[in-house]
Amino acid sequence: MMRWWWFGPAVEKGELARELRTMKAGGIGGVEVQPVYALELNDPQKGFRNLPFLSKDFLDMVSFTAQTTHDLGLRLSFTLGSGWPYGGAYVPVSDAAGRLRIVAEAVPPGASSLPVPSIRNGEALLAAFLASGTPQNYDADRAQQLDAIRDLRLTLPTGISGPHVVLFFISSRTGQQVKRAAVGAEGFVLDHFSMEAIQNHIQHVADPLIAACGPNVPYSVFSDSLEVYESDWTPKLLDEFRKRRGYELTPHLPELVAGTSPEAADLRYDWGRTLAELVDEHYLTPLNTWAREHHTKFRSQSYGSPAVTLSSNALVDLPEGEGSQWHGGFSFTRWATSASHVYGRPITSSETWTWLHSPSYRATPLDMKAEADTFFLQGINQFVGHGWPYSPPSAGDPGWSFYAAAVFNDHNPWWMVMPDVMSYFTRVSYLLRQGAPANDIAVLLPEEDGQARFRPGHVSVTDEMRILLGPDLVPAILDAGYNFDFIDAAAIDKVGIKYPVLVVPATERLPLVTYKKIREFAAQGGRVIAVGTLPSRAPGVTEGPRDSAAVAQISQTLADLKNVKIVASVAEVGPAIGAALKPDVAIAPATPEVGFIHRKLPNAEVYFIANTGNSSHAFDATFRTSRIGAEWWDPMTGNIMGAGAVPTLHFDLAPYESRVVVFSDRVNPAPQYPATRPFAPIDLSHDWKVTFNKSGTGETMQTLHSWTDYAAQKYYSGTAIYTRTVEIPETVAKSGRVLLDFGEGTPVPRQQLRLAGTRTWYDPPVREVAVVSVNGKPAGDLWHPPYRLDVTALLHAGTNELRIVVANTAINELAGRDAPDYRLLNLRYGEKFTPQDMDHLQPLPSGILGTVRLISGNDAQH
């Protein structure tokens, strides 16, 4: 699917229908509509109008889109709002995202009272405390609560000596506004802990959107990433805390924000657990229930702030992740896929290609594949591309673009290979939905330790996991030949541990009920590998004193079991797993840039293997399978051929190349190709006629080079047609396999990117894609390594005609223009975005740059 940005929204039915038909033709399976900021001002003289969000005209466009996607057989999804997070003009300050505001006032010498801080609408004074120290450094553990307030002044006790500070705790609001909001959708982000706030959102936003769809119910509705910054409070928190934790939070507020004792950490854990319960019960659950009542699915990016846990994903129909960091450490993507695997959700989607090879229009199909493969390796099996900008005819080429994304519409010159690109993603996504995940390792997330580290303005479990897990545990497991899922205490409590090995990172706190489940797992033969030490205490103000001794006793019991291994460091995790379980895929020599994902079917084992690096890799892979037959399933073409009957297979992967291996009890012998008689390579790097489609002008290239070397084509974005003839001797035509080879690309040294996102570190010999025909018949597309096509069946002895259509990106055209001036737009609507990396654009090399040859199949390296 593609995220479809409606800018303004300034959309009209003719262009909506055209773009949907184009997506369908390009192999895209559906759209997620997201109304966002305007890119043009209203202009009645030109008939240009931004339709206010949720207006009658806007909802008419929603109705039209629902009907058109239904007619075309495309999936439809809607963001239940505009921009992100949820919120807008309908949100009163009483429903806005909440935060705990702390005002620390130094007590002047001899003072008998202090003024109470200004309290505005949406705020309430919770309590005031006196503590020794300064506003920057005070004794929170021995603060004294004060309650003598009259005429907006707080009376201080007598006899204060030495530096003291008064702490005012105020239930306040973050003031955060909806990010990238459409016209008419501006306003406060709502309180994700408040049932009243989400019900108000459903009434004002969700109900009108679903009603506009009529009988054409969308495939899903969507909640974008929870970027509710600094939200750590809600007006009813004190009551909810008392009901759930069994004690009053108010007397402990100074400890909550600045206490240093173990008891203060337990207090913060109780606070974090309460916030997590509230966002689960008052945000995720009502939305998922509403979606099911309307016969659709709720798709949610349940990570970030505020306070969600891994098991929060169990409350939504379609968990969604984000982030391509498959090998380096904690990622939101594996967070989502893990929850799906643990809780039996068959589909996990990802927001894919965000910030891909910035700036907009720079990303190529190879960039798309390279990042997509890292998502596949983490278990993703549905992409939501980021994305497709709606662009009116008046915007021309290359049209509108979103500030933080690549552009995957037909305004990009390389669109001609999009059907081929989408076919690859579709095949692999389909395969990775078959059967069940077969990851061997469960990694326990130390969420309780993370919640104990919460502090005002920072209540993100996922942020804490990134710190507590560190960068080395994930590669230690993957490089040892295993794949894994995260699991948390709540998941163990609900569904148990269904993995042969549980890895426990350095963890201090663990609920007793969960630890008993782990003890039972170990007693039944499950392998447990702990890093550093086993847990030593239970979390929580009540549970800590009550259960910590029992937790320590379980740790002592587990330490005496042979199937429980305590390792000193993360570096020992891989060997410890290897001593307990044979690797799923053993790669020799070790190749960390190559990853795999494994699915288990009743009668087969499916492995997806990908080279994520910019260099070729040759290796042997031994698979842990009892199946006797192996087949290569080509994810690019869908072709299947035998690989023989051995669990060890040889791979020779080009940069960013991927393969699928399927093991079953059907022995399909490896194909025996007719003997190929070698011949001297035929150089085709000279004497090409090149015609540029937009201008109709032509050049004769004596030697292949970038078309930007021509002054007239320096800023040309589009397609160019390369033609020439070649005389083929009869000995070559009858030699066996003949390959049209465009040469090797060049690895580019990796650099630290300024923005989030990825790119390939590789300059291909064709910039950026090509469609090849031989003697008037299609030979194939070129957009990924190896840049080589089998043309055996298309050649004949004598004169042969070659025709190659090459397309670059839209960057060159943009480099030859002035950047858009958004001054008036920003004055009217506020500065909603900043174009990224669009200044100082330079044209990129374009066309066929490598050495083109006809070579014998014996000479192919990959």
User: What gap in Å lies between CA 213 and CA 77, rounded to an integer?
Assistant: 11
**Do the beta carbons of residue 89 and residue 185 sit within 8 Å?**
yes
Q: Give yes or no for residue 108 having a pLDDT over 50.
A: yes
Max CA separation in the chain (angstroms): 109
**Do the beta carbons of residue 22 and residue 67 sit within 8 Å?**
no
Q: Which residues contact 273 (CB under 8 A, 6 or more apart)?
A: 244, 245, 451, 539, 540
User: What gap in Å lies between CA 189 and CA 181, rounded to an integer?
Assistant: 11
- Can the peptide bond before residue 398 be classed as cis, meaning omega within 30 degrees of 0? yes
The Cβ of residue 780 has, within 10 Å, a number of other Cβ atoms equal to 19
Q: Give yes or no for residue 344 having a pLDDT over 50.
A: yes
**Do the beta carbons of residue 594 and residue 619 sit within 8 Å?**
yes
In sequence order, the β-bridge partners of residue 34 are 5
At residue 93 the predicted structure's pLDDT band, cuts being 50, 70 and 90, is very high
The SS3 assignment for 747 reads: strand
The SS3 assignment for 715 reads: coil
Q: Give yes or no for residue 531 having a pLDDT over 60.
A: yes
CA distances from 353 to 371, 560, 562, 656 (A): 7, 48, 45, 16
Digit-coded pLDDT (tens) for 148-197 = 998 899 999 998 999 999 999 999 999 999 999 999 999 999 999 999 99
The two beta strands, 766-767 and 762-763, are unpaired
User: What gap in Å lies between CA 510 and CA 88, rounded to an integer?
Assistant: 39
User: What gap in Å lies between CA 840 and CA 819, rounded to an integer?
Assistant: 9
Tell me what percent of the residues of the chain surpass a pLDDT of 90: 92
CA distances from 172 to 99, 154, 230, 457, 703 (A): 5, 19, 11, 12, 69
CA distances from 674 to 485, 679, 736, 737, 797 (A): 45, 15, 7, 8, 19
CA distances from 139 to 107, 127, 166 (A): 14, 17, 11
Packing angle of the helix pair 237-245, 262-279 (nearest 10 deg):
110
Kind and range of the H or E element at 150?
strand 149-150
At residue 673 the predicted structure's pLDDT band, cuts being 50, 70 and 90, is low
The SS3 assignment for 642 reads: strand
User: What's the DSSP call for residue 710?
Assistant: S
CA distances from 566 to 351, 517, 560 (A): 37, 18, 10
At residue 668 the predicted structure's pLDDT band, cuts being 50, 70 and 90, is confident
Structure confidence at residue 773 (pLDDT): 98
Digit-coded pLDDT (tens) for 823-855 = 999 999 999 999 888 888 999 999 999 899 999
Q: Which residues contact 546 (CB under 8 A, 6 or more apart)?
A: 538
Average pLDDT over residues 290-316: 97
Tally DSSP H helices, then E strands, for the chain: 21, 48
Most confident of 7-16, 257-266, 400-409: 7-16
**Do the beta carbons of residue 305 and residue 231 sit within 8 Å?**
yes
User: What gap in Å lies between CA 446 and CA 509, rounded to an integer?
Assistant: 8
Backbone phi and psi for residue 276, each to the nearest 5 degrees, phi listed first: -60, -40
At residue 675 the predicted structure's pLDDT band, cuts being 50, 70 and 90, is confident
Structure confidence at residue 537 (pLDDT): 97
User: What gap in Å lies between CA 367 and CA 389, rounded to an integer?
Assistant: 18
The Cβ of residue 274 has, within 10 Å, a number of other Cβ atoms equal to 22
Cα angle for residues 277, 281, 283 (degrees, 5° grid): 110
User: What gap in Å lies between CA 540 and CA 270, rounded to an integer?
Assistant: 6
Backbone phi and psi for residue 119, each to the nearest 5 degrees, phi listed first: -115, 120
Summary mean pLDDT of the chain = 96
The two beta strands, 441-444 and 658-664, are unpaired
The SS3 assignment for 96 reads: strand
Q: Give yes or no for residue 862 having a pLDDT over 50.
A: no
User: What gap in Å lies between CA 188 and CA 456, rounded to an integer?
Assistant: 20
In sequence order, the β-bridge partners of residue 588 are 620
Tell me what percent of the residues of the chain surpass a pLDDT of 70: 99
Digit-coded pLDDT (tens) for 686-735 = 999 999 987 788 889 999 999 999 999 999 999 999 999 999 999 999 99
775 conformational bin, left if phi > 0, alpha if psi -120 to 50, beta if neither? left
Tokens representing residue 402 in the block: 């979103």
Q: Give yes or no for residue 754 having a pLDDT over 80.
A: no
* Overall size of the chain counted in residues: 862
Average pLDDT over residues 30-48: 95
